[in-house]
Amino acid sequence: MNDKELLPWLEKATSGDESAFQLVYQATHQDVYRTVAFLVYSKQDIEDIVNEAYIRMWRSFHTYDPQRPFRYWLHGIVVRQVQDWKRKAWRRIRLFERNRQMTREQFEWTDKAVLQSEMQLELFRLVRQLSYKLRVVVILRYFHDYALEEIADMLQIPVGTVKSRHHLALKELRKRFELTGGDAYVY
């Protein structure tokens, strides 16, 4: 189902039609979940954020501009929800505890993912090790295919900042990629 077809359903869902809600959820939940899971690693946190992103979706549907692509609006909500969560999380939990927890989960999760796909997803693993600020740019650029200007708009930061983060992220990835020897033409 494409964005245009989804819109009337979303509108119905917003006014209280439960079957429309089901349909919208089915059409979007994998995308929403994956976007969040790229940015946040704890299973519990991912689920909290997905839930909150949907709540935000109903509540701010009236601000949606039909001239713009639906997914762009949706991803904007998801990303802002993640940022909100991070802001709160830093206040709530002590830094080092959080880091330890994150690293452990990250590796458990990645191992599983790699096993499941039976692929050496070296770059994917490296992306997950990037700092959040760099990672979010990489995900929006290479997973969702947004232009750097769009990413700036979504993250509400200057384009110049996005460009420098993008550049930094790629530099970091190249460096680590060579170090781990995961380059495709080694084999």
Contact set with other proteins (CB under 8 A) = 13, 16, 18, 21-22, 25, 29-30, 32-34, 37-38, 47, 50-51, 54-55, 58-59, 113, 116-117, 119, 121-124, 127, 138-139, 142-143, 170, 173-174, 177, 184
Report in angstroms how near the CB of residue 161 gets to other proteins at its nearest: 20
Number of Cβ within a 10 Å radius of residue 95: 8
Report in angstroms how near the CB of residue 107 gets to other proteins at its nearest: 14
Which residue, 68 or 88, is less far from other proteins as judged by CB?
Answer: 88
Report in angstroms how near the CB of residue 91 gets to other proteins at its nearest: 23
Q: In angstroms, rounded to a whole number, what is the distance separating the alpha carbons of residues 28 and 25?
A: 5
Report in angstroms how near the CB of residue 177 gets to other proteins at its nearest: 7
Which residue, 22 or 156, is less far from other proteins as judged by CB?
Answer: 22
Q: In angstroms, rounded to a whole number, what is the distance separating the alpha carbons of residues 38 and 84?
A: 16
Which residue, 18 or 97, is less far from other proteins as judged by CB?
Answer: 18
Report in angstroms how near the CB of residue 46 gets to other proteins at its nearest: 9
Which residue, 30 or 67, is less far from other proteins as judged by CB?
Answer: 30
Q: Is-contact 15 8, C-beta < 8 A?
A: no
Which residue, 43 or 68, is less far from other proteins as judged by CB?
Answer: 43
